[in-house]
């Protein structure tokens, strides 16, 4: 009789990578670190020469990677859960970062923002 193999299962995302142009690190640190308040994570030694910077986002990570011939992602995007979404929105307004509100997802408050490189980011909070 053939041995049954145990099924795999998914339990979440480890990280999302966003592309950025060479030399992006100072702007990424300011936006993701200083403005959004994400903690920077040290990249493994072997990957540091590639450029870019990594951040902790809850239990996941956001990796900003350098891409030659960079072109920003206008449609594809990470959707980031936020507690106290209105506080984040106020902070973005204080930094003159435009927010695009969206009320099309039932049960959620959400908006979109472009990072300094033009990549689309979604921030949302589910209503209970």
**pLDDT by residue (tens digit) across 19-41?**
999 999 999 999 999 999 999 99
Could you tell me the residue range of the domain that residue 36 belongs to? 15-126
| pTM assigned to the model | 0.91
Q: Is residue 98 included in any domain, yes or no? A: yes
Q: Is residue 85 included in any domain, yes or no? A: yes
The pLDDT score that the predictor gives to residue 5 is 85
The pLDDT score that the predictor gives to residue 1 is 62
Going from the C-alpha of 87 to that of each of 15, 53, 80, the distances in angstroms are 24, 25, 15
Q: Residue 114 sits in a domain of what CATH number?
A: 3.10.180.10
Statement: residue 128 has pLDDT above 90: no
Q: Is residue 3 included in any domain, yes or no? A: no
Q: What's the average model confidence in pLDDT over 35-48?
A: 96
Share of the chain above pLDDT 70, in %: 98
Q: Is residue 7 included in any domain, yes or no? A: no
Q: Is residue 10 included in any domain, yes or no? A: no
Domain count, the chain: 1
Q: Mapping DSSP to helix (H, G, I), strand (E, B) and coil, where does residue 21 land?
A: coil
């Amino acid at each position: 009789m053939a041995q049954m193999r145990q099924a795999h299962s998914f339990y979440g995302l480890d990280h999302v990578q966003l592309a950025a142009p060479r030399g992006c690190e100072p702007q990424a640190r300011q936006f993701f670190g200083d403005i959004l308040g994400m903690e920077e994570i040290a990249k493994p030694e072997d990957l540091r020469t590639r450029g870019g910077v990594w951040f902790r986002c809850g239990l996941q990570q956001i990796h900003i990677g350098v891409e030659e011939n960079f072109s920003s992602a206008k449609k594809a995007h990470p959707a980031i859960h936020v507690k106290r979404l209105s506080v984040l929105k106020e902070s973005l307004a204080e930094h003159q970062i435009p927010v695009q509100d969206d009320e099309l997802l039932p049960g959620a408050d959400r908006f979109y923002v472009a990072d300094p490189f033009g990549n689309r980011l979604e921030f949302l909070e589910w209503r209970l």
